[in-house]
Amino acid sequence: MIEAWPAADVRAAEEPLLAAGVPLMERAAFALAAVVRRDLARRRAVPGPDGGLVEGSVRGARVALLVGAGNNGGDALHAGAFLARRGLAVTAYLADERVHDGGLAALRGAGGRVVVVDAGAGAAPSAVATEVAGGAGGAGGASAAGAGGTAGAGADVVLDGLVGIGARGPLRGTGAAVVAALLEALPEPGDPARPWVVAVDVPSGVGVDDGTVPGPVLPADRTVTFGAAKPGLLLPPATHLTGAGAVIDLGLELAGTGAQAAASARRPAVVRLEDTDVARAWPVPGPADHKYTRGVVGVVAGTATYPGAAVLASSAAVRAGAGMVRYQGPDAVGQAVVAARPEVVTAGGRVQAWVLGPGFPAEGDDDGQRDRARAALAAASGLLPGAGAPVPAVVDAGALALLDHRCPGWVVLTPHAGELAALLRSRGDDVDRAAVEAHPLRWARRAHELTGATVLLKGGATVVVGPGPTAYAQADAPGWLATAGAGDVLAGLLGTMLAARSAEVVAHPERAAEIAAAAALVHGRAAERANPGGPVAALDVAGALPGTVAALLALR
Ligand SMILES: NC(=O)C1=CN([C@@H]2O[C@H](COP(=O)(O)OP(=O)(O)OC[C@H]3O[C@@H](n4cnc5c(N)ncnc54)[C@H](OP(=O)(O)O)[C@@H]3O)[C@@H](O)[C@H]2O)[C@H](O)CC1
Ligand SMILES: [K+]
């Protein structure tokens, strides 16, 4: 798993090392330069003796450093000095008159070129962008002392060292002007003429601790972050601007050491599960298991008007490995479900988890589904006398409007941004879909505070907030998964995963968030498996679940 720690925790962990004179910046910069060199060598791959490709030479490659006023800029300058000593042509564009002295001296000492950027005596941001992008008449004419620029040949790589964990608010000043000009001047992403963009620590201008994108940000192809990942690298929308990641270990003790770690209240703010985490936690049946120990999933979904959601949610629950699936709903829908999945039963009875809401409306004609879902939710929440032990529940789509009481953390809501906005508005918050999409973590946390439930907020990346201290942020879904019925499949999949650990989740409600995050990962992997790199139909995603789970278990 990838653990992300707030900027303040990273700074606190750096302090003792800095006080002890540990050269953290040089360590960070050296590692950054190594990643840049490797990425460049791979982008310059050439045919090898055996017909394959081998890494190409990076000598002479053109490197543009975007340098801000703080230590983030210092990292970029020191990395530029390492690269210049390896024969790369490095130009630092200083976006602030305050610049890291040691880094600037190191770059100059290594023969790097320095261009002061400002709208006055220095190079204009537009001229810098033109030079970096490879247009004619760049900032070469305004270059400070040092090797002359190569007018016309743009940069091969750009290091974004404008601002790091010291950022406050949207990118401003000359740095913002340079980024805005680059967003205009650079070739489109995917164009081979576009330079490789490497964000130093974080893409400059993202919300380091909340993943917001309050202003202009230069999208990165790679983010090299130091000490630990930051929440903003995992959280949407900023996570879509980070490119591939690389975490450089600086020897920071974030959770403390030994007894301190055990006692420390410090936990990562955000976690991203990886395949091996999900594989290790997946419940694999043993010889003593039977369908009831594996978990029975109750599905209240679909209506005569929208039977498909019932088929999709039930199919996903079956294919994900439920011990048994009980479909509850109109006979006609039950017949459609059984026709599609003969393993499903329509008789009532005990379940270990409920899936409520796919495919039925929050109001209007629902064939009695809202009443069925309301009763199931009450039973799941332990509010229905005689209904047996409480069990986890997935509350999706039309069932979200049924939340008229505070829920325990083992109830998991699975709204998209519009549904979450509607839920929050129904509780008096003035928020719309766009606001939720701009700040998913904030609003998912707000929904958890208001309802008590665990909240899985669906979107290009998935955010999960529950009763525990750690949020989850998964970005495993291909864009193709934005298709009708995908949410129904996720609900059924999640129901099966909760049913398999029903008693455990009720006893430890904070674990529902991790299971929900794992479901988001499996959902994304199944979509990829259903049709790698191309469009997928929701039912095919459900169909790919068995193979997806088997592939994950093979990693154990
Ligand atoms: N601690 C270490 O030795 C190490 C740090 N690492 C690197 O350092 C940065 C953090 O450096 P820091 O100097 O604390 O802060 P930044 O460089 O991130 O930014 C501070 C300067 O940026 C200006 N600023 C702040 N917000 C904005 C904004 N929205 N737009 C433009 N400029 C902004 C701020 O300006 P002021 O006017 O407020 O002063 C500062 O000048 C960390 O990210 C690492 O890269 C090493 O990794 C490890 C060693
Ligand atoms: K940066």
Domain positions in the chain are 2-48+55-270, 275-553
Instruction: Show binding-site residues.
Output: 71-75, 160, 164-170, 201, 204, 309, 359, 416, 458-462, 487-488
Residue 385: which pLDDT band, with cuts at 50, 70 and 90?
A: confident
Instruction: Please return the burial class of 144, using the count of CB atoms within 10 Å of its CB with bins 0-12, 13-18 and 19+.
Output: middle
CA of 56 to the centre of ligand 2 (A): 27
2-48+55-270 fold = Rossmann fold (3.40.50)
The partner residues of 53 in beta bridges, in order of sequence, read 47
131 lines ligand 1 (CB under 6 A): no
Q: Is the ipTM value over 0.95, yes or no? A: yes
Tokens of 379: 């039973």
Ligand 1 atom closest to residue 167's alpha carbon, by position in its atom list: 26
**pLDDT above 70 as % of the chain:** 95
Residue 145: which pLDDT band, with cuts at 50, 70 and 90?
A: very low
Ligand 1 atom closest to residue 28's alpha carbon, by position in its atom list: 47
pTM of the model: 0.94
Rounded to an integer, the average pLDDT of 233-248 is: 97
Rounded to an integer, the average pLDDT of 198-224 is: 98
| Residues near 342 by beta carbon (within 8 Å), at least 6 away in sequence | none
Nearest CA to ligand 1 atom 45: 72
Four-CA torsion 95, 98, 102, 108, nearest 10 degrees: 50
What is the tens place of the pLDDT at every residue in 6-22?
999 999 999 999 999 99
166 lines ligand 1 (CB under 6 A): yes
- Reported as type and span, the H/E element at residue 489 is helix 486-499
25 lines ligand 1 (CB under 6 A): yes
Q: Is the pLDDT of residue 136 over 70?
A: no
Least confident of 68-82, 90-104, 253-267, 438-452: 253-267
Q: How far apart are CA 106 and CA 88, in angstroms?
A: 15
Q: Is the pLDDT of residue 150 over 80?
A: no
What string of DSSP letters covers 281-303?
HPPPP-TT--HHHH-EEEEE---
Q: Which pLDDT score is estimated for 144?
A: 35
106 lines ligand 1 (CB under 6 A): no
Residue 72: which pLDDT band, with cuts at 50, 70 and 90?
A: very high
Ligand 1 atom closest to residue 215's alpha carbon, by position in its atom list: 29
Residue 122: which pLDDT band, with cuts at 50, 70 and 90?
A: confident
Which one-letter amino acid corresponds to residue 388?
A: G
Q: Which pLDDT score is estimated for 69?
A: 96
Helices 71-85, 24-43: inter-axial angle, 10-degree rounding: 50
* Best mutation site among 11, 165, 224 for ligand 1 pocket (most ligand atoms within 8 Å of CB): 165
179 lines ligand 1 (CB under 6 A): no
Nearest CA to ligand 1 atom 21: 70
Other Cβ atoms within 10 Å of 135 Cβ, number: 15
CATH class of 275-553: alpha beta
Q: How far apart are CA 139 and CA 295, in angstroms?
A: 66
Nearest to 396 by CA among 309, 517, 479: 309
Q: Is the pLDDT of residue 49 over 90?
A: no
What is the tens place of the pLDDT at every residue in 330-378?
999 999 999 999 999 999 999 999 999 999 988 888 999 999 999 999 9
The partner residues of 454 in beta bridges, in order of sequence, read 412
Residue 118: which pLDDT band, with cuts at 50, 70 and 90?
A: confident
